[in-house]
Chain A
Amino acid sequence: MSGHATGYRTHTCGELRPHHVGKVGPITLAGHVAAILEGPALLLRDSYGATLVVVDADAPEFVSEAFDRLGPEDVIQVRGKLALRPTVDEELATGAVQVMMSGIEILSSAEPPPDALMTAPEVPYEDRLAHRQLYLRRPEMQDRFRVREQVVFTIRDYLIKQGFLELETPQLFWYDQVATDPEPVPVAGGRAFALPSGPVVLNQYIKAGQFDRFFQFVRITRREINPTPMHGSEYTALDLNMAYADREDFCRVVEGLLAAVAKDVFGINLPVPFASKSFAEALQTWGTDKPDLRDAQGSPLAGAWVHTYPFFTRNQDGDMVPDVVVFSRVFDDDLLMAVSRPEDRHAVRSQAFDLVLNGVELASAYVGNHNLELQRILWENLFQMGREDMIRLRAPVESHRFGLPPHVGMNLGFDRLMAILLGLEGIDEAMAFPKEHGCRDRMLRAPGPVPEEAVADIVADAEPPTFTLDDYLKEIVES
């Protein structure tokens, strides 16, 4: 019996070896029919591998009858004796043995899969998504999720040993009538939550709650995305926060974390500390703020930090808008300069910084602002925030009320990290159930409409709220 034995099998399709022959009793395996071969024989596949199953010459008649009915991807259970193969198949981990089938049960028949989806070296993007359940059965996909679990586990283990607590922020967040980004989640009476597009704002409350080091693996949904393979409408991020820490403290922890993953999961020595340059220096030295330093460092993985980004950028309309987390700290001298010379505010530099791995932007991080006076100057003088903006920024405003520790925060694109570690072109190959660009799920034909009767309570009239957001703002800002 193996550690994977269940009510349906004594072994998996990936574990039998010559040393098992003669040592084990009758074998029961369960899996999908991967191929029907001459012999008559079949290749049986599960998550762990594939095993050759040969119809035993002495098998009862029902076995060959059932065999004749088999089609690809049928789900079956087979019984028989384990034997050595006459010729070893070197391609297969179980290639030295075969099961001499004397019993078979068809557990669930399968409609035939589209041609070549299971075996072709390249499957078109649309087919990979539309038939995800079939594509995921491929051995290389199964293996990716084994690695992904190890990476997640290594990261958690590392962080918890470094004193981090796991704190999960809500997905039902405030609905903002002005913002176009979040997806509204309507409830009874025409009111709505919205998905938060990330935990950065919610983290402010936890920071003010004086947790020292905290993290979460968090699902992030985004409406507006760049249509590149490294972006997705829903992805997983590793969110990290440290109080009473500066950028260097933070960078050492992240480097240690990535080095542990590289070493423990991939056996690679990741060169640390990473190269670190300001945005201006990076452009000067590397010609980019996303340098790929693998060749320079002779390592299959190479990281870099780019810090001191400009706070503002010009949008399409030519207006100055913040280019980084709006409550990230700016350099004090820059702030004072900009107060006296507002026309030069484009020169204000923020304490935001990025992590780059193998030339891909992996995470954006920032040193937070714990001083309300400086924050106010930033918001009022530089950002020229009005009442509406203040309402939208009520978490960072309110979290200052009873003291806010100095802190550093980062949001690391975990699917991106996996894509880089596994050498994949896009994050969809590192995820189990990605959506295509435009947020469509081809396999489940989603999103879709909703019948009127299902949303009757949502569109029903409700009592208007007894207070306004202005009242709320008064409470949190002017108290």
Chain B
Amino acid sequence: MNDRATTASTMATAFRTHTCGELGPDHVGKEVRLCGAVSRVLDDDHIELRDAFGSTVVTVTPDCHTLLQRQIEAPLPTLETIIQVTGQVVALDPAPAGAQPVGVVADGLDILSIARSPLLFDHRDPDVSRWDRIRYRYLWLRNPTAHKLFAFRTTFSHGLRRYLHDRDFREVETPILSARWSPEAADSFIAIRGMEQIFSLPGARPVHGPIQMASGFDKVYEFARRFSRKDQYGPMEQPEYTLLDVNMAWVKLPDLVSLCDELIGYISTGILELADPIPLTELSYDEAWRRFGSETPDLRYDLELVDLDAVGASSRSPRVRMTIEAGGALRGLRLRRGATRERQIGFLDDLVTDPVGTSLHWFTLGEGGRLDMKGTWGYDERLARDIGNAMGAQFGDLVVLAAGETRRAAEDLAGRTRRHIGERLSLHEREHALVRVTNPPYYHEDLVTGDLHLRGDLLTRPVNDDLDTPGAEMRAQAFTLVLDGVDVGEASVRNHDLKHLRQLFRHFGLDGMAVDQRFGHLLDVLKHGYPPNGRLSLGIDRWVALLSGLDSIDDVIPMPKIFDGSDPLVRSPWPMNRALLRGYLGV
């Protein structure tokens, strides 16, 4: 207890006077007590002690060796063993590279918790497999990089909270045992409370968003756990993730746009301390597809799609002409001086998976206008030259052509090729780039069949309230926020006119029973007055990962699941008794 009184360290406790990160030249000569793990054995008499704040070199004196020999029958503790060291701070001469210029000569050394040997892997090794990182999380989490990631995550979340707090937003928490099961929540998990007593866990758009707005709240936020049930999860997906959900009453789309802009400004200059905000481009949904072949375009590099339909339609090549005449499309990408970088780009054929009916070809322009054509062509040289001219191709350029039986399929293939080339060749001209993709449709086009499927948030207000517009042409008052090619947020204005909303459901082909099943429990809550309102949500895990330069959210979640949604750390999920399960579910 006396230690606490004599030290200035705010991290001092009964176990330590200082942390391993805070000793410096000013402390030379002082008696200190440190705690931490043995992170390296430097030589017979020197170890490195590490805690969450840093490392300190500890000299193990002969007395301590003797003590250890008696306690653990070894002159030094095993790696990662937790010890407490008492001793004097001394200047290290020469100062070790990259370490503090002071160390501690131990006159006392106590073992607090023994680490079994050998360790399964070195947690500082950047090549530790994803499986090992997750299965042995308690070992991997020790690496200083992980500590930095969670420190940044804490700063990032708290910064966002501070922004909202200072602007009079209120935090209103919504339940995890969210609602009764409905088809609207079919992509989330269910939790069993008893026989046929089922709750759905909240997905990306839980019912409580609109309900908060029907409950008299004005500007509210929540850092909420959200759930997503799938068979396979991509590197930017997890079965559970954290969303910052903001709901605001009495707003129109421009209000949400300015909130979004201000938040981005605050994240850039207030939290990341950048000189300028991360550049933001606004594109309509259709424009994003047209120019970049994606609804989540990566604008860290500029490469754009070129519409070659006119060139193809007037060509003599029957295959190309017929594709376009049948409603297909031809899109090109021109990579300046790409001819010499073909090898880096690698094999492009793998990009042509599904959708069927797509094809990818490319050519380079050599000296004297010599054409070097790749792939199995339905294109003749004259068409290639026309295309090259239409795209302004010059000596040394690489031209990639994507054809598809539908426009969207061609754009998609060109967009994926754009991303592949951008990443392979590191075309990035900006560290980060944000895109606001506005006015999405309510229907999603299946790239294989071209069929339209209703998707997205049907509670969103359309841009044009006119119900004469065919459903497929209707656009929502909404936007997606894309950071470095990854969807990191979305916003929408909800339809507060419940009469119009019901008409819209009918317009989308939902009959009364389907509406009741999907939205009945919600509409019953909203019927006592529902103000105009909107929402903005940010995927916190993705923001933290991307701003930390990671291509997966695993490392910014303390205990993530692996790609199939299972948790090897605690061995979950685990089989349930079949009869019990059927009984609970009533099936």
Partner of B527, one of A8, A12, A110, A243: A110
Bound state CA distance, A397 and B15, in angstroms? 24
On chain A, the residues within 8 Å of B50 by CB distance are: 210
Inter-chain contact A448/B198, CB cutoff 8 Å: yes
- Mind listing 5 A-B residue pairs with CB under 8 Å? A7-B251, A165-B151, A171-B240, A210-B37, A404-B82
On chain A, the residues within 8 Å of B179 by CB distance are: 441, 444, 446
Knowing A108-B530, A209-B138 are in contact, say whether A153-B161 is a contact too (CB < 8 A).
Answer: yes
Partner of B217, one of A142, A152, A156: A142
- Contact mask for chain A residues 201-228; partner B; CB cutoff 8 A; 1 contact, 0 none: 0101110111111000001010100000
Asked if A195 lies at the interface with its beta carbon under 8 angstroms from chain B, I say yes
- Contact mask for chain B residues 293-321; partner A; CB cutoff 8 A; 1 contact, 0 none: 00000000000000000000000000000
On chain B, the residues within 8 Å of A454 by CB distance are: 181, 183, 186
Asked if B115 lies at the interface with its beta carbon under 8 angstroms from chain A, I say yes
Asked if A63 lies at the interface with its beta carbon under 8 angstroms from chain B, I say no
Closest B residue to A114 by CB, please name it: B528
Inter-chain contact B113/A193, CB cutoff 8 Å: no
Partner of A4, one of B171, B197, B218: B218
Asked if B574 lies at the interface with its beta carbon under 8 angstroms from chain A, I say yes
Bound state CA distance, A221 and B193, in angstroms? 10
Inter-chain contact A210/B51, CB cutoff 8 Å: yes
Bound state CA distance, A72 and B72, in angstroms? 78
Asked if A36 lies at the interface with its beta carbon under 8 angstroms from chain B, I say no
- Contact mask for chain B residues 547-587; partner A; CB cutoff 8 A; 1 contact, 0 none: 00000000001110100010101111111111001101111
Partner of A370, one of B113, B497, B587: B113
Knowing A108-B530, A110-B529 are in contact, say whether A192-B574 is a contact too (CB < 8 A).
Answer: yes
Inter-chain contact B113/A211, CB cutoff 8 Å: no
Closest A residue to B139 by CB, please name it: A402
Inter-chain contact B574/A191, CB cutoff 8 Å: yes
Inter-chain contact A433/B208, CB cutoff 8 Å: yes
Inter-chain contact B52/A447, CB cutoff 8 Å: no
A367 CB to closest chain B CB (Å) equals 11
Give me 10 other A-B pairs in contact (C-beta within 8 A), A185-B189, A243-B52, A447-B199 excluded. A4-B219, A32-B529, A145-B170, A168-B225, A185-B191, A187-B573, A195-B176, A219-B173, A219-B225, A402-B80
On chain B, the residues within 8 Å of A142 by CB distance are: 216-217
Inter-chain contact A188/B231, CB cutoff 8 Å: yes
Asked if A6 lies at the interface with its beta carbon under 8 angstroms from chain B, I say yes
Number of interface residues of B (CB under 8 A): 130
Partner of A186, one of B37, B81, B141, B576: B576
Bound state CA distance, A75 and B452, in angstroms? 36
On chain A, the residues within 8 Å of B46 by CB distance are: none
- Contact mask for chain A residues 445-467; partner B; CB cutoff 8 A; 1 contact, 0 none: 11111111011001100101100
On chain B, the residues within 8 Å of A153 by CB distance are: 161-162, 165, 171
- Contact mask for chain A residues 149-161; partner B; CB cutoff 8 A; 1 contact, 0 none: 1101100110010
Residues of chain A having any CB pair with chain B under 8 Å: 3-4, 6-9, 12, 30-32, 45-48, 73-75, 107-113, 131-134, 136-138, 141-142, 145-146, 148-150, 152-153, 156-157, 160, 162-177, 183-193, 195, 202, 204-206, 208-213, 219, 221, 223, 233-234, 236, 242-246, 248-249, 370-372, 394-395, 398-406, 431-433, 435, 439, 441, 443-452, 454-455, 458-459, 462, 464-465, 469, 472, 479
Knowing A75-B496, A370-B112 are in contact, say whether A134-B208 is a contact too (CB < 8 A).
Answer: no
Bound state CA distance, A167 and B52, in angstroms? 14
Inter-chain contact A371/B112, CB cutoff 8 Å: yes
B167 CB to closest chain A CB (Å) equals 7
Inter-chain contact A403/B37, CB cutoff 8 Å: yes
Partner of B180, one of A8, A164, A192, A444: A444
Inter-chain contact B581/A192, CB cutoff 8 Å: yes
Bound state CA distance, A450 and B189, in angstroms? 12
Closest A residue to B141 by CB, please name it: A209
Knowing A175-B576, A187-B229, A210-B52 are in contact, say whether A221-B177 is a contact too (CB < 8 A).
Answer: yes
- Contact mask for chain B residues 231-246; partner A; CB cutoff 8 A; 1 contact, 0 none: 1000000011010000
Bound state CA distance, A59 and B91, in angstroms? 85
Partner of A405, one of B112, B137, B217: B112
On chain A, the residues within 8 Å of B1 by CB distance are: 248
Partner of B169, one of A149, A398, A447, A449: A149
Inter-chain contact A7/B154, CB cutoff 8 Å: no
On chain B, the residues within 8 Å of A32 by CB distance are: 216, 529, 531
Residue of A209, A211, A246 most packed against chain B (CB within 10 A): A209
On chain B, the residues within 8 Å of A132 by CB distance are: 211, 215
A82 CB to closest chain B CB (Å) equals 18
Asked if B532 lies at the interface with its beta carbon under 8 angstroms from chain A, I say yes
Inter-chain contact B14/A249, CB cutoff 8 Å: yes
Inter-chain contact A210/B172, CB cutoff 8 Å: no
Inter-chain contact A449/B250, CB cutoff 8 Å: no
Bound state CA distance, A414 and B254, in angstroms? 36
On chain A, the residues within 8 Å of B569 by CB distance are: 205
On chain B, the residues within 8 Å of A134 by CB distance are: 215, 528
A316 CB to closest chain B CB (Å) equals 22
Bound state CA distance, A192 and B577, in angstroms? 10
Asked if B174 lies at the interface with its beta carbon under 8 angstroms from chain A, I say yes
On chain A, the residues within 8 Å of B10 by CB distance are: 162-163
Bound state CA distance, A170 and B498, in angstroms? 37
On chain B, the residues within 8 Å of A433 by CB distance are: 173-175, 208, 211
Closest A residue to B582 by CB, please name it: A459
Bound state CA distance, A202 and B557, in angstroms? 13
Bound state CA distance, A46 and B217, in angstroms? 8
Bound state CA distance, A79 and B141, in angstroms? 58
Closest A residue to B565 by CB, please name it: A187
A354 CB to closest chain B CB (Å) equals 20
Asked if B343 lies at the interface with its beta carbon under 8 angstroms from chain A, I say no
Residue of B199, B557, B573, B584 most packed against chain A (CB within 10 A): B573
Partner of B252, one of A6, A233, A432: A6
Knowing A6-B250, A166-B153, A210-B52 are in contact, say whether A464-B141 is a contact too (CB < 8 A).
Answer: no
On chain A, the residues within 8 Å of B142 by CB distance are: 209-210
Asked if B207 lies at the interface with its beta carbon under 8 angstroms from chain A, I say yes
Inter-chain contact A148/B208, CB cutoff 8 Å: no
B10 CB to closest chain A CB (Å) equals 7
Inter-chain contact A245/B574, CB cutoff 8 Å: no
Inter-chain contact B191/A444, CB cutoff 8 Å: no
Knowing A166-B154, A170-B240, A175-B573 are in contact, say whether A452-B191 is a contact too (CB < 8 A).
Answer: no
Chain A to chain B: the 4 pairs with minimum beta-carbon distance, closest first: A209-B141, A137-B216, A7-B252, A110-B529
Knowing A133-B214, A212-B51 are in contact, say whether A452-B587 is a contact too (CB < 8 A).
Answer: yes
Inter-chain contact A186/B581, CB cutoff 8 Å: yes
Partner of A450, one of B35, B153, B198: B198
Closest B residue to A236 by CB, please name it: B173
Inter-chain contact B192/A183, CB cutoff 8 Å: yes
Inter-chain contact A174/B531, CB cutoff 8 Å: no
Inter-chain contact B192/A133, CB cutoff 8 Å: no
Inter-chain contact B529/A74, CB cutoff 8 Å: yes
Residue of A6, A152, A243, A462 most packed against chain B (CB within 10 A): A6
Inter-chain contact A398/B170, CB cutoff 8 Å: no
On chain B, the residues within 8 Å of A209 by CB distance are: 137-142, 146, 558
On chain B, the residues within 8 Å of A168 by CB distance are: 225, 242, 557-558
Closest B residue to A139 by CB, please name it: B216
On chain A, the residues within 8 Å of B153 by CB distance are: 165-166
